[in-house]
A and B are shown apart, each in its own frame.
Chain A
Amino acid sequence: MKQAKFLSSSNLFLCAGLLSAVVIGCGKEEINVYTAPKDSAAPPAYSAAESRTSPNNAAITAPPKPHVTWKTPADWEDLAPTSMRVGNFSITEGEQKAEMAILPFPGSVGGELENVNRWRGEVALDPVTDKELEVEEVTIGPVTGKLYDLIGPKFSTVAAILEKDGTSWFFKMRGDKELVAKNKRVLVDFLKTIEFAAPEKQQAHIAIAPYAEEEDEDDNSGQDQGPKWQTPAHWKEGPPKQMVVKNWDIAGADNKTANIAISSFPGEVGGVVQNVNRWRGQIGLPPMTENEIRDAIKVMETSDGQSEALYVDFTGKDRSGQPTRMISAIVPQGGDTWFYKILGDIAVIEREKTAFLKLVQTANYH
């Protein structure tokens, strides 16, 4: 009886009326206009190493980036830094040429042995095992790093590696054997002048890694005839595909195949992590964390010495559940980014890996 009274229609009507009033009274978000101080108006200023300009030109803090300074030896020519090289030098003597680069990378980029063997391959030396690795100690500014003297039949590399504050620094001189040998002492002295300096010091040569100054994109003086690649004869060029610059089909035993595709974008890339995880998704692998990807990434220098290729090698399964392998490389070149991908049968890719990596390394973009 009482319940019926409580739920009477007039009561409910009253209740609804009251609620409507409450709901109507509720505020709505509005556009606000206000005056905000400029960056400089926010005292006290903090170091440039720890600040950046946000898209709205107000100071916000960000992790500091590694900085390095040096004193260029007299016989070395300073070249403009590239997107990967914070220091870039050319050494010439008569017909002989060598180059020296300072390259910072986040994390350990594959590890010591992996990098040294890659460098050995570049000067036509066979890979070595961990026990066979010959290392010298070298002073790099205030700290001690490792130096590797890799003397090949024609070309040599002298390179130093230093891991500092989560960044792997490569100081790498490569070129004609005699010239490199002659400049080894100069490089060792040069490394002593390295300073991992705060940016406020404003020394003669200062580079902020990994952000290099913009490169001159007009180097080719309008002689751009399109990129060229060295490919083995048995790779069969595939039909044109949307967004693919070039592609090849490779046949293996038992009708097994692999396909290589090259794409290029004017500086437009989705991020190493997103791309690597997208590739992993294509072969049914779960995404990796940023740190895992850093460990999985391998680095190799392109043969023109102008950039470095990052590549990953994964084995998973295709849509039909068949085991499949993929090696994908990212090469920043000038303002563009080039993507290389070989995808297909595990055995075919194992056979073609060297040729694929050579394709990536020897690409001529001019």
Chain B
Amino acid sequence: MLRRLLNFFSSLWLTVVLLALALVLVFIGTLAQVKLGLYVAQEEYFRSFFVWWQPAGTNFKLPVFPAGWLLGTLLLVNLLVAHIKRFKLSWKKSGILLIHSGLIFLLVGQFLTEVYQVESVMRISEGGSKNFSEDSRKNELAIIDVTEAASNKVISIPESFLRQGEEIRHPELPFAIRVKTYFENSTPTGKMDDTPGKISSTHGIGKRLQFAPMKITATMDDDNKPTALVEIVGGNETTGEWIVSTWLNRYPWFESLNAQMGSLLEGELEKPQSFTYAGRNYEIALRAIRYYKPYTVTLLEATHDKYQGTEIPKNFSSQVRIDNPKKGEQREVLIYMNNPLRYEGETYFQFQMNAEPGMKSSAFQVVRNPAAITPYVSCTLVGVGMIVQFLMHLVAFGRRRNKATPTRVVSEPNPVDVGGAR
């Protein structure tokens, strides 16, 4: 049985089949981007084990094709088992061994990156500070207990929990949250609009601003703006209904909505949606998942250089100050293109910049990747392996050449012989 298993996983046939499937996957995954957009296609075709298909009118999904993680895992297993099965420790094989180790490390590292890497964005106005970054894609329903003077307690509910009819309970929540409506994508609207399915609420901004469902977007220059109508229920009593939406806080949608509606809604948009339950004060929001830092980043100066006489950007750079009270550290750093800040396990890349006078701001892409070092290690291993392999071939060639040399020397004219002839 074990032999059969080893034979299967070490088979070259498996390698060929997996590589062929990977080829097909890349092809169909690329085509799928037209309909699904880059991010969703990546998630469905490459960052999962199977490509799933939901038959029309049903609630279940069927796996129809192996996706990126499955093919990568099987290729890795194939490579490892083949090595284990055929492994012979010898100096002659050391180069090949190093090259293969580098490839294995690369595959493992890439898998770890896929699973553990967190990408977020920190957007700061010139002169402003931030101590958190926001997830680029994922949202949370945040229930924030703001009763204590010292700090807030945040109960972060992933957006995936927001499904119509769902009742969310948690030991830290003294009430239940009923999801009455959930739109994966939405638009703010008024009563004039006869869009079917629009929602309003009994409390908060939903009393004045309604939201209607929208077709899910797949384009790179747009985001889905989810909205939900939730009811806070304690025991058998309802505290009220609230509309939560990323329209109310995510950049640039909030800024756009506020610019259009801020004055008409008389500042309502800027107020937190809050309620009191059992003597404690809560705020509720559907927002980007936040990653708080034990330090603060202050944007001292944002510079946006253009090539003279053109609008073509030449250089973005941000002078920032790090304040880390735990370490007693305060220092200034210049972040610019290709020169990120690496701090506390995170890398801050210069991402976007708004250079409009009076509105200057800079956005940093904040990447936490515990496996960030793996590509460097793999490249080193592969590089050293290739050098070792090359040198071994070179030495062997030299040896062969040296072995051949005496016969050739004999055949050459010998100075002594020549002299002797004289």
The 8 A CB mask of B101-128 against A (1 = contact, 0 = none) is 0000000000000000000000111111
- Cβ of A22 within 8 Å of any chain B Cβ, yes or no, is yes
Among A3, A32, A36, point to the contact of B151 (Cβ < 8 A): A36
- Cβ of B30 within 8 Å of any chain A Cβ, yes or no, is no
> Contacts A55-B273, A56-B249, A267-B265 given: A275-B190 contact, CB under 8 Å?
yes
Q: In the assembly, what is the distance between CA of A18 and CA of B6, in Å?
A: 13
- The answer to whether A210 touches B127 (Cβ under 8 A) is no
Among A58, A61, A290, point to the contact of B125 (Cβ < 8 A): A61
Interface stretch, picked from A42-50, A131-139, A150-158, A171-179, is: A42-50
Which partner residue on chain B sits nearest A66 by CB separation? B358
- The answer to whether B13 touches A6 (Cβ under 8 A) is yes
> Contacts A50-B127, A58-B132 given: A270-B189 contact, CB under 8 Å?
yes
Q: In the assembly, what is the distance between CA of A23 and CA of B67, in Å?
A: 12
Chain A, range 9-68, C-beta contacts under 8 Å to B: 10-11, 14-15, 18-19, 22-23, 26, 29-38, 41-47, 50-64
Which partner residue on chain A sits nearest B194 by CB separation? A243
- The answer to whether B285 touches A3 (Cβ under 8 A) is no
- The answer to whether B128 touches A54 (Cβ under 8 A) is no
- Cβ of B237 within 8 Å of any chain A Cβ, yes or no, is no
Q: Number of contacting residues on A, CB 8 A?
A: 74
Q: In the assembly, what is the distance between CA of A42 and CA of B332, in Å?
A: 18
Residues of the B chain whose Cβ atoms lie less than 8 Å from the Cβ of A272: 260-261
Chain A, range 254-311, C-beta contacts under 8 Å to B: 263, 265-275, 278, 290
Residues of the A chain whose Cβ atoms lie less than 8 Å from the Cβ of B154: 32-36
- The answer to whether A31 touches B158 (Cβ under 8 A) is yes
Least Cβ–Cβ distance between A282 and chain B, in angstroms: 10
- Cβ of A212 within 8 Å of any chain B Cβ, yes or no, is yes
- Cβ of A224 within 8 Å of any chain B Cβ, yes or no, is no
Which partner residue on chain A sits nearest B206 by CB separation? A268
Among A6, A53, A263, point to the contact of B11 (Cβ < 8 A): A6
Query: Once A and B bind, how many residue pairs between them come within 8 Å at the CB atom?
Result: 236
Q: In the assembly, what is the distance between CA of A275 and CA of B402, in Å?
A: 87
- The answer to whether A53 touches B208 (Cβ under 8 A) is no
> Contacts A31-B161, A84-B263 given: A54-B255 contact, CB under 8 Å?
no
> Contacts A263-B191, A270-B210 given: A2-B361 contact, CB under 8 Å?
no
- Cβ of A106 within 8 Å of any chain B Cβ, yes or no, is yes
- Cβ of B184 within 8 Å of any chain A Cβ, yes or no, is no
- Cβ of B267 within 8 Å of any chain A Cβ, yes or no, is yes
Which partner residue on chain B sits nearest A57 by CB separation? B272
> Contacts A62-B125, A337-B264, A339-B192 given: A266-B160 contact, CB under 8 Å?
no
- Cβ of A83 within 8 Å of any chain B Cβ, yes or no, is yes
Among B5, B129, B131, B190, point to the contact of A337 (Cβ < 8 A): B190
Chain A, range 189-236, C-beta contacts under 8 Å to B: 209-212, 214-215
Least Cβ–Cβ distance between B387 and chain A, in angstroms: 36
Which partner residue on chain B sits nearest A105 by CB separation? B263
Least Cβ–Cβ distance between A56 and chain B, in angstroms: 4
Which partner residue on chain B sits nearest A29 by CB separation? B158
- The answer to whether A61 touches B361 (Cβ under 8 A) is yes
Chain A, range 47-104, C-beta contacts under 8 Å to B: 47, 50-64, 83-84
- The answer to whether A56 touches B144 (Cβ under 8 A) is yes
- Cβ of B239 within 8 Å of any chain A Cβ, yes or no, is no
- Cβ of A145 within 8 Å of any chain B Cβ, yes or no, is no
Least Cβ–Cβ distance between A121 and chain B, in angstroms: 25
- The answer to whether A61 touches B358 (Cβ under 8 A) is no
Residues of the A chain whose Cβ atoms lie less than 8 Å from the Cβ of B64: none
A-contacting residues of B (Cβ < 8 Å)?
4-5, 8, 11, 13-14, 17, 49-50, 70, 73, 77, 123-132, 142, 144, 146, 149-158, 160-161, 168, 170, 172, 187-193, 200, 207-210, 248-249, 254-268, 270-273, 283-285, 287, 290, 292, 296, 298, 323, 325, 354, 356-359, 361
Q: Enumerate 30 A-B pairs (CB-CB under 8 Å) in ascending A order.
A: A6-B13, A10-B4, A23-B49, A29-B161, A31-B155, A31-B156, A34-B153, A35-B154, A36-B132, A36-B151, A36-B153, A37-B151, A44-B296, A46-B128, A51-B125, A55-B272, A55-B273, A56-B142, A57-B272, A61-B124, A63-B359, A84-B263, A209-B263, A211-B267, A270-B209, A272-B260, A273-B260, A274-B189, A275-B192, A339-B190
Given contacts A37-B292, A56-B285, A57-B144, 19 further A-B contacts (CB under 8 A): A11-B8, A31-B155, A31-B170, A37-B131, A37-B151, A37-B152, A46-B128, A55-B273, A57-B272, A58-B132, A60-B123, A63-B356, A63-B358, A211-B266, A269-B192, A270-B193, A271-B257, A275-B192, A290-B260
B-contacting residues of A (Cβ < 8 Å)?
2-3, 6, 10-11, 14-15, 18-19, 22-23, 26, 29-38, 41-47, 50-64, 83-84, 106, 165-166, 209-212, 214-215, 243, 263, 265-275, 278, 290, 332, 335, 337, 339
